[in-house]
Amino acid sequence: MKSQDIRSKFLQFFKDKEHSIVPSAPMVLKDDPTLMFVNSGMAPFKEYFLGNAQPKNNRIADSQKCLRVSGKHNDLEEVGYDTYHHTLFEMLGNWSFGDYFKQEAIAWAWELLTEVYGIDKDILYISVFEGDEADNIPMDQEAYDIWKQYVSEDRILMGNKKDNFWEMGDQGPCGPCSEIHVDIRSAEERAMVDGKSLVNMDHPHVVEIWNLVFMQYNRKANGSLIALPNKHIDTGMGFERLCMVLQGVQSNYDTDVFTPIIREIETITDKNYGKNDKVDVAIRVISDHVRAVAFSIADGQLPSNTGAGYVIRRILRRAIRYSFTFLDQKDPFIYRLVDVLCKKMGDAFPELKSQKQLIENVIKEEEASFLRTLDQGLVLLDGIVKNTIGDTVSGEKAFELYDTFGFPIDLTALILSEQGLKLDEQGFKEHLEKQKNRSRAASEMSTEDWTILIEDAEQEFIGYDTLETNVKITRYRKVTSKKDGDMYQLVFNLTPFYAEGGGQVGDKGYLEDVNGDVVYILDTKRENNVVIHFTKNLPDHLNETHKATVDAKQRYRTECNHTATHLLHQALREVLGNHVEQKGSAVHSKYLRFDFSHFSKLSMEELRDVESFVNARIAGKLELKEQRNIPMEKAVEEGAMALFGEKYGDTVRTIRFGQSIELCGGTHVKNTGDIWYFKIVSEGAVAAGIRRIEAITNDALKDYFVDVNRTFNDMKVLLNNNEPVKALQNLQEENSNLKKQVEALLKDKTKNLKGDLKNELTEINGIQFLAKKIDLDAGGIKDLCFELGSQFDNLFLLFGAENDGKALLSCYISKELVSEKGINAGQIVRELGKHIQGGGGGQPFFATAGGKKPEGIEEALKAVEEYLK
Ligand code: SER
């Protein structure tokens, strides 16, 4: 069975059991501070498990892209060394939100595996939670009794909290689980060693394929468990492992999910898979990592230096490092694998296909830059080795290389061992630990449990229509971090406050109680579908009604920028072409930032066209046309474009101004005329193929004009002229004339000097020699050397000069002398550089050294004379 068919059979099976089939959610999470990436099939549904939202159908099934590379579930370092762990994998899952529970979940899993996929019952094992005293939870007898109906009891094993109690993070919904393991060893091996003894023992051929989680608890911040009001089912089956079983192979990498990529790596690198352990690990690492990186970029997450972007960068660098060392690849090539990946998976995941070129460009650029880092690192490591006394390289130096230059520590260790040297690994670890502690302390945050003031309260956002309303506080909690100190998070039954999202910042404002006492709301964010208001203090009368008011001025400025962002998006597609896609946006009250795919710098003319396009629509006073809760298909039909990496519900909101129509949850001006005017203030590159524009509107633009005007007036005063442009042109002209005169004077000076210097030459061992301090700049000295040089074939010159407190040494040697006597100006200046505390180099016949100690020039001049003698 081909992997495509395995995937569709799963979905069809659950569709027949009345599940809605949904597409995979994007992997990068936007409104969940506890999780960076989707790390299991259930993560995108957390809001349903927590009861913050209701699904349309309480039975859902899908194949979800998951990334286990950070936080509680992190498999990164294992990937490549075994045949069944991955960074990115697909998790096939079926869910019940308060609907069916253990009975159906178990029956259907068994039916699908043994009847639809036809897996032999005799190679399957089941595990059931044995209970845990500390948590005060009993053994899962219910699951055990149900399994007994399908499997003989000697195939049911008891499992501990580590394996059989599933928790997504430190807090949140959790519950006991039953794992289904499969034994794919040969019949002889199975006869010799009982498969049961190998379950959960990291055996590559006795592996877990499906986990059925019975969600019935919620883990609170203080570690205690409380029962969830509704019980849920969360199952997750490893798609690649299932393919391994059904395709009768012994490794995930031998399934058709990976083989096309592996064949391509073999072709490009001229290495074979399956012949050498180290090469095999490298090939597995690369074929795994290219998937993780390509899918992340398609979901809008570019490699970067912070947060999720940094995790992606590290994955790609791990792949580059393995290909560099074990496949001898010194040039970018991983980007070339994107093509096969798109062919293989582009149908199931269209985001890959449509963004192929961007993915390739970004990966290629990252590869090139990291390979440069590796090159530099090798040179630096060489220097460290040269300065090492004894046979052990200091951990501190290796840490510096790792920390400042991103040079991988295992590569350092490998290179050292090849040279018969050791690395002080303990020292390295200590430095690493110190640094980790520093950053941990900086980012440490503790979150208390919610204090519930009103049970089961729902929340409604009314901030599209009003900025002020009376609210009840339904719950609150304290959050403490090093950065912000103590803060409170409040939830209301009703809120006019817009929560940060879709690039737009969260609203600020205040809460006022009946006595007129005010608590400021400093920010608003959304977490698992709940709007949370941040305050420094807790209101005194928590149970009373408060008036909540949004800071209207900041909201209005932000709206001007948000609407302008839509017009800018439209303008860019119009002026540059339809390849332009939004890759990120930040809408603040003071400015807007827009990232988009485009392959070259925008010309002045293009920027002007974009600005005029937007300003024409502002001048056109286009009215806002908003539609709420319309079906996604209808919005797309009308011309709205879904963005990659965004999660949309079944119904969406559209925002239209003239011909600009977007899917958007943000807030906007009522009429484009409100924006007043739009101005681009910068344009540049963010990554390969991604440009960034920053722009301002309205009040910020008024301030900008006032500033520009002030500078202009200052200029007029300085130039003492009412026509500053003309005055500047005159100045420039005057300046260039003066420059010419100075140059002519300098030439004369050099000429005179040349005559004088010729008389000062002395002969040492048949060489015409002069070492002297002179008063010329670097260019003048070079000219002088070459002019004098043209008259001799046995000339040796060393000039010292002092400019702006810095020392310069220039050495000239006739080419004939270089070849006859084997002397080299480059080597000589490097040596002499010591006298002036500096260094330099150049060619054998002409080289210079710069340094910070001009007093050393005389010494250098003397030293060279000694040398020649
Ligand atoms: N959440 C469970 C897991 O990730 C099942 O989907 O294993």
DSSP secondary structure string for all residues of 453-503 = SSTT---EE-TTT-SEEEE-EEEEEEEEETTTEEEEEEEESEE-PPPSBTT
For residue 428, pLDDT beyond 90: yes
With a cut of 80, say whether residue 73 has pLDDT above it.
no
Buried b (16+ CB within 10 A) or exposed e, 154-175: ebbbebebebbbbbbbebbbbb
d(CA 625, CA 219): 44
Give the CB-side neighbour count of residue 382, counting CA atoms within 13 A: 6
What are 18-40's pLDDT values in tens digits?
A: 999 999 999 988 777 778 899 99
Over range 131-153, report the average pLDDT: 95
Any atom of ligand 1 within 6 Å of the Cβ of 355: no
For residues 678 and 221, the model is more confident at: 678
Mean per-residue pLDDT for 531-540?
96
394 or 624, greater pLDDT: 624
For the chain, the average pLDDT equals 93
Please report the pLDDT score of residue 101 as a whole number. 96
pLDDT band at 486 (very low <50, low <70, confident <90, very high): very high
Query: Is the beta carbon of 172 within 6 A of some atom in ligand 1?
Result: no
Instruction: Give me the torsion for CA of 8, 14, 17, 21, rounded to 10°.
Output: -90
pLDDT score recorded for residue 595 = 96
Task: Give the number of other Cβ atoms within 10 Å of residue 284's Cβ.
Answer: 25
Task: Please tell me the least confidently modeled range out of 527-531, 539-543, 589-593.
Answer: 527-531
Angle value at C-alpha 301, between 85 and 567, nearest 5 degrees: 155
- Residue 482 confidence class, pLDDT cut points 50, 70, 90: confident
Q: Can you list the domains of the chain with their CATH numbers?
A: 1-20+47-251 (3.30.930.10), 258-378 (no CATH), 388-443 (no CATH), 446-550 (2.40.30.130), 556-706 (3.30.980.10), 740-868 (3.10.310.40)
Can you give the length of the chain in residues? 869
Confidence of residue 819 (pLDDT cuts 50, 70, 90): confident
Q: Which of 91, 207, 210 to mutate to test the pocket of ligand 1 (most atoms within 8 A of CB)?
A: 91
At 179 the pLDDT is: 97
> What CA–CA distance (Å, rounded) separates 428 from 397?
8
Distance from the CA of 380 to the center of ligand 1, in angstroms? 45
Atom of ligand 1 nearest to the CA of 212: 5
Instruction: Lowest mean pLDDT of 182-196, 245-259, 428-442, 725-739, name the range.
Output: 428-442
Q: Round to whole Å and give the CA distance between 855 and 807.
A: 8
> How large a percentage of the chain has pLDDT more than 70?
100
> From the CA of 42, how far away is ligand 1's center (Å)?
7
**Model confidence at 515, in pLDDT bands (50, 70, 90)?**
very high
Average the pLDDT over 329-337 and give the result: 97
Q: Is the CB of 35 under 6 A from ligand 1?
A: no
Window from 127-131, 202-206, 428-432, 837-841 with minimum mean pLDDT:
837-841
The overall longest dimension of the chain from CA atoms, in Å, is 111
- The predicted pLDDT at position 149 comes to 96
| Residue 683 confidence (pLDDT) | 97
The verdict on the CB of residue 236 being under 6 Å from ligand 1 is yes
Check residue 419 and give its pLDDT.
85
pLDDT reading at 457 higher than 90: no
Q: Which residues pair with 838 in a beta bridge?
A: 851
pLDDT number for residue 390: 83
What confidence score (pLDDT) does residue 439 get?
77
Instruction: Label residue 195 by pLDDT band (50, 70, 90).
Output: very high
Going by pLDDT thresholds of 50, 70 and 90, the confidence category of residue 533 is: very high
Provide the sign of the torsion angle of the four alpha carbons 788, 789, 791, 792, taken in this order.
positive
Least confident of 328-332, 553-557, 864-868: 864-868
Q: Which atom of ligand 1 is nearest to the CA of 40?
A: 4
Q: Would you say the CB of residue 234 lies under 6 angstroms from ligand 1? A: yes
210: CA distance to ligand 1 center in Å?
8
Q: Across-strand partners of 88?
A: 67
Residue 780 is predicted with a pLDDT of 87
3-state SS string for 503-563: CECCCCEEEECCCCCEEEEEEEEEECCEEEEEECCCCCCCCCCEEEEECHHHHHHHHHHHH
| Band of residue 591 on the pLDDT scale cut at 50, 70, 90 | very high
